[in-house]
Amino acid sequence: MKKIWEKIGIIKRQQKKYFDEFGEEISVRNLQLMETICCAGIAIFCLYFLFTKVFFSSWSISLLYLVPVPILGVLLWEIKKNLKKEKINTKAAYIQIVCMYIFLLMVTIVLSVFPHPNVPSIYYHLFILACPVLFILPMYLHAVIIILSYVVFLALVITFKVPAVWPHELFESFTALLFSGVVMILMSQFRLQSDSLKSKYYEMSQMDGLTRLTNKVSGISAGEQYLSEAASDEHFAVLFLDLDNFKRINDTYGHIMGDKLLRAVGETLVGSCRASDILCRFGGDEFLIVLKNIQNKDVTVTRVEGIRTRINAISLNPIGSVTCSIGVCYVSERNDMTMADLLSQADDSLYKAKQKGKNCYHIVEQRQKEMYCGHEYQQPT
């Protein structure tokens, strides 16, 4: 029994992590599914009435079948409105999903009990089997909703259906409830494993395998996103950092030692940057850094000097001390500058730092699409 509770606890923690990490994506999936269900439901009800009138004109159609159509229409309108938003409101989506879930369960219960009290039902049993597959919700919530619906279903069956069908309804609904629990567990584990693998592969595609920093593509993408979201008057700096004489290090001490150095530089840069800054390995021994929300150029100088000093402090035997050159584009007024423009200017600034004798940095200020105040800060000899 203790092992069972431990297993339940593990699944509960895994599910909490899953819904915390993929909350918005899960909301979008659920809303898209609900949109499909609403459209399909309205179409099925309309076709049901049409075919009944055409092929079975003598049949009488219960008005209960008309009730879900306008409600599905209202839900469809709300869902479409939510999906059109740039950022999904996960809390509102969660409430919509649960309401839709309960509404559909109640519809299937009503249609299973009232129109034909003398005939065993099929809708409810099939639907509670399909629920864990259709809706992506925490397992405990699935269980609570389905068990409560089961109690309501049995109460209505005993109250409104003839006693002759009670045994059939009791057996079928209980069997469906058990199988629904099995489906619930299987689907929950499948989604956890599937999205965990997807998250792992996505992370691998975003990371540089050697330094474990962000790679070039995702680094530039993060920079472009930052430019699109940052205020027009926000100050920031784009840095290109290049290790001095790295080719000679590789040729002298071997590529394994060169890789070790790159990993050490990556760790040093992580310690030198804030979590909000953008840091990636641009390629080879070159690193891209975007220092966000810098108060002024003096702060940029302090931050860049700190990075250079920390790189100088790296000491690997037998390589010894390490130096680097840094090209900096400090931005005080961005206007319509693109990430490509800023990278180009930082790259030019790096070239000038290399020309000055390496182990230094060169800063240019970007303002109103013109270059101002180019400075070289050389390490004292």
Active site members = 285
CA distance 270 to 65: 62
Contact between 142 and 135 under an 8 Å Cβ cutoff? The reply is yes
Please report where in the chains the tokens 């494993």 appear, as a residue.
193
Contact between 285 and 277 under an 8 Å Cβ cutoff? The reply is no
CA distance 48 to 204: 50
CA distance 316 to 339: 35
**Nearest of 326, 24, 3 to residue 195 by alpha carbon:** 24
CA distance 125 to 108: 9
- Half-sphere CA count of 54, side-chain side, radius 13 A: 6
CA distance 371 to 381: 29
CA distance 336 to 153: 62
- Provide the token pair at 230: 């940052």
